[in-house]
Structure 1
Amino acid sequence: MKNVAIIIILFQSFQGIHAQKVFADTQEFLVTTEIMDRGEKHPSYVINLVRSGEENLDKISTLTIEDTELFEDIFITALENPGLEGVSKVIKMEVEYLACCAHVEAYYYMLKEDNTIVALPELKNVYCENSDSDFQYIFPNQEYGIKDNILQTQTFYQTTTTNTKYVNLKRSFTWKDGIVEDSKTTAITGY
């Protein structure tokens, strides 16, 4: 009986996460790392984002990490069905550097149904002890999303990253015929 209750709770939790349309951990994508040792004290890394399970490791993206002394970790999450025509999922790769604060570079890649990739401009966040906001993209099927638009926002939080205080629009992109274009939308604030 306990096992049935646990399965029901897990199923409902999964449904809640799926219904919220949030970025979730994924095993579908991974990173490979090549160390570029040129006799330097801290050699640079070449990071490749690839689809797991592929024999030829089809590269989605490649970037170089020069500041390997402060490099901490890479996190990969995905958003299924973001609500854009022809886009099956969005992959978010966050590269974290640690100093007195955490510096996070966020890379967003939209995976189209024909398996081509559309990259969005990189976002940078700094998380210190009292940080209460971050920059992110919001897609149509997410809270505050707008049909056929990708919103670059700054989200402010009350006390934790789960309690949104308000969202400010920084930039808006229109998704039209498989192309990202600057939008005419100039101001959206959600409370």
Structure 2
Amino acid sequence: MKKILLIDDSDTYTWCLQKYLQHRGYPVKTACTLKEARAAIQEEMPLVVCCDLDLPDGSGMDFLDEVRAADKELPFILASCHDKDDYEQEAMRRGATLCMDKMKGLLLQDKLVEYAYRQLSGEKAPTFHKLLFVHSCFCSHYNKTDVEVQQELGIGRTSFYKMKKQALRSLGFYFYEIVVPQAKNKRFKPSLGVEEE
């Protein structure tokens, strides 16, 4: 089985991604330099490439050019801490599939799993719609239909919303979730994040 190739000079960063992907059932190959990455590709073309922009012996952008010369369709994700505005347009012109912020780890993990799955199943990568899903933790005003469905299924509100989001995700929606806690005499502070499956 082909592997997901992770290229980053931070051992800790690649270790965390590797453990997550392996837990999901995807084999992983790691490289700390472009030299190691080139050797890995010569040995076997990967399933997906996730490459840092800045590496000790060169740029991820240059490695992108090398990969595109050999394979035009291979999913190639450039991950960096730099502002995407500084490099995204050039990267996409040169054939990058996605440019992502390394600090948005959960989203990056999801995208790696998504592209690996689609490569294995032969499906084309979809265009995901982004849906802002807002709900409150302790709200007494429910949508009557939602409550009725919860009662029929015999499940709680949290489980119901989880099922609802999974159903929408299967239709191609991707979630940025804001949870607004409502407690008396307290100011709420929304937390913005991507829900992990």
Sort the TM-score into its range (normalised by shorter chain). under 0.3
TM-score normalised by L of structure 2:
0.26
TM-score normalised by L of structure 1:
0.26
Query: Comparing both chains, which one has the higher relative contact order based on Cα–Cα distances under 8 Å and sequence gaps of 6 or more?
Result: 2
Task: Indicate the structure (1 or 2) with the bigger Cα radius of gyration.
Answer: 2
Larger proportion of helix: 2
Larger proportion of strand: 1
